[in-house]
């Protein structure tokens, strides 16, 4: 972390405050409470792969709805993406192609991407660069998305890679690019971008002391309100000290508005703000795809990077539905935490259930067509 990074300093301060106030539970109390939290998401754990655990019934759906078409969800397992602690970019590329083909049922990656976007779309790729080069969205994944979009007829100049803060993009290895002839890389705080005063989320369900300029408004970035037609969300699979997990929902919601620190900490844990921010049409109606980067994942001390709490997971989760993917993210992190003899984070992750109730997606596993590819 850079000494002058006030955003990350705030996150660390809030995380420490959370840890200080955290309920102390013995193992029996923890297991008893876990059974009733987050609609059963992330409950009993095992060493099975993520989809195997889901299909075994260890994660129970809230309801069963037979009439709703099943939502394609793909877990892409990369057996060869890590070689001697180095990423095999060819293996990652093949993993992405196979995952997109499985998701869409198409015979080629090019055909798959044509199912996602139209040639005239301006596409925003929302990455997560907060944790620096070690735990941010990998550039090989972003490059493959750009390649896929181009194969579907989207010109490079119609693609925007973005996040809230220039400093985080730069630290993660994404130089700011504003030229109109190629892929652009922008932040909401880039000069000339900023936030839209006419499009905002207003709520007093927050921490008054953490409000920016005493405001109850969180304005949406002009990137999502004025610049892009569709959104591809590319979060990192990681722990979050205040929201339990930082997956699809938090990455897009809190990455798209300002004045978010007010939602952190006890007793809110970022809920219901995450779901309510995503309800707005500038996000909900533009989101077409989510790709969770689990090449490297974290199980503790997130959302910042700590070597001792990360592991080379080597997998991707892909779906149009961000909620069901966050169920997988939560379940995967809980499993790893169980292996490390740490408590579940389900009690902090109620924003997943809230987002489902608001219609952002589903946490009902009977509505998901769970598929797996392995490379």
The answer to whether 318 touches 292, Cβ cutoff 8 Å, is yes
CA dist 89 and 95 (Å) reads: 10
The answer to whether 248 touches 233, Cβ cutoff 8 Å, is yes
CA dist 108 and 100 (Å) reads: 8
In 3D space, the residue among 4, 62, 11 whose CA is nearest the CA of residue 246 turns out to be 11
Q: Is 321 helix (H, G, I), strand (E, B) or coil?
A: coil
Task: Give the pTM.
Answer: 0.88
Q: What are phi and psi of 311, to 5 degrees?
A: -150, 155
In sequence order, what are the beta bridge partners of 126?
Answer: 162, 233
In 3D space, the residue among 254, 271, 251, 270 whose CA is nearest the CA of residue 220 turns out to be 254
Q: Is 242 helix (H, G, I), strand (E, B) or coil?
A: coil
Confidence of residue 55 (pLDDT cuts 50, 70, 90): very low
CA dist 222 and 211 (Å) reads: 21
**Beta-carbon count within 10 A of 150 CB:** 16
Q: Which residues contact 150 (CB under 8 A, 6 or more apart)?
A: 156
- pLDDT of 318 reads 98
- pLDDT of 366 reads 87
Q: What are phi and psi of 20, to 5 degrees?
A: -65, -35
CA dist 94 and 90 (Å) reads: 6
- pLDDT of 159 reads 98
Residue with tokens 């006030």, as numbered in its chain: 6
Pair of tokens at residue 55:
């299909």
Q: Tens of pLDDT along 303-359?
A: 999 999 999 999 999 999 999 999 999 999 999 999 999 999 999 999 999 999 999
* Cα of 110 vs its chain's centroid, Å: 24
In a 10 Å sphere around its CB, with 0-12 CB exposed, 13-18 middle and 19+ buried, how is residue 227 labelled? middle
pLDDT reading at 27 higher than 60? no
The answer to whether 337 touches 321, Cβ cutoff 8 Å, is no
Pair of tokens at residue 96:
């992405």
Alpha-helical regions (H) of 22-138 = 27-34, 50-55, 89-104, 109-114
Q: Is 38 helix (H, G, I), strand (E, B) or coil?
A: helix
Pair of tokens at residue 345:
């984070």
Least trusted range by pLDDT, from 160-164, 260-264, 265-269, 305-309: 265-269
Give the Å distances, CA to CA, from 368 to 45, 114, 181.
Answer: 20, 22, 40
Q: Tens of pLDDT along 162-220?
A: 999 999 999 999 999 999 899 999 999 999 999 999 999 999 999 999 999 999 999 99
Pair of tokens at residue 193:
């971008």
Residues above pLDDT 90, as percent of the chain: 80
Mean pLDDT within 287-295: 98
pLDDT reading at 46 higher than 50? no
- pLDDT of 69 reads 87
CA dist 179 and 185 (Å) reads: 9
End-to-end CA separation in angstroms for the chain: 34
- pLDDT of 6 reads 75
pLDDT reading at 44 higher than 80? no
Q: Is 268 helix (H, G, I), strand (E, B) or coil?
A: coil
Pair of tokens at residue 4:
């002058």
Pair of tokens at residue 70:
């099943």
Pair of tokens at residue 100:
């997109």
CA angle 274–73–368, rounded 5-degree value: 85
């Amino acid at each position: 972390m850079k000494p002058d990074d006030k955003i990350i300093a705030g996150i660390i301060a809030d995380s420490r405050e959370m840890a200080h106030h955290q309920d102390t539970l013995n193992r029996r109390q923890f297991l008893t409470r876990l059974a009733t939290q987050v609609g059963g998401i992330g409950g009993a754990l095992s060493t099975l792969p993520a989809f195997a655990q889901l299909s075994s019934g260890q994660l129970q759906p809230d309801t069963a709805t037979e009439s709703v078409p099943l939502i394609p969800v793909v877990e892409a397992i990369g057996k060869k993406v890590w070689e001697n602690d180095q990423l095999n970019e060819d293996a990652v590329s093949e993993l992405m192609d196979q995952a997109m083909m499985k998701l869409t049922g198409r015979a080629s990656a090019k055909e798959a991407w044509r199912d996602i976007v139209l040639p005239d779309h301006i596409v925003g790729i929302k990455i997560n660069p907060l944790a620096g080069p070690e735990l941010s969205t990998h550039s090989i994944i972003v490059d493959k998305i750009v390649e896929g979009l181009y194969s579907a007829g989207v010109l490079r100049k119609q693609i925007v890679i973005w996040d809230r803060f220039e400093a985080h993009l730069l630290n993660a290895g994404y130089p700011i690019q504003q030229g109109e002839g190629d892929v652009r890389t922008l932040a909401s705080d880039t000069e000339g971008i900023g936030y839209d005063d006419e499009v905002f989320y207003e709520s007093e369900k927050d921490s008054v002391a953490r409000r920016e300029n005493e405001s109850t408004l969180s304005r949406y970035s002009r990137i999502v309100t004025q610049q892009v037609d569709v959104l591809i969300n590319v979060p990192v699979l990681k722990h979050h000290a205040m929201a339990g997990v930082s997956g699809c929902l938090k990455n897009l919601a809190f990455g798209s508005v300002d004045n978010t620190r007010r939602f952190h900490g006890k007793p809110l844990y970022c809920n219901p703000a995450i779901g309510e921010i995503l309800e707005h049409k500038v996000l909900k109606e533009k989101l077409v795809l989510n790709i969770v980067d689990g090449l490297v994942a974290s199980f503790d001390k997130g959302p910042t990077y700590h070597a001792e709490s990360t592991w080379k997971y080597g997998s991707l989760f892909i779906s149009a539905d961000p909620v069901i993917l966050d169920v997988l993210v939560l379940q995967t992190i809980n499993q790893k935490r169980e292996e490390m003899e740490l408590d579940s984070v389900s009690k902090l992750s109620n924003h997943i259930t809230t987002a489902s109730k608001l219609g952002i997606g589903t946490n009902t596993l009977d509505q998901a067509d769970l598929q797996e590819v392995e490379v």
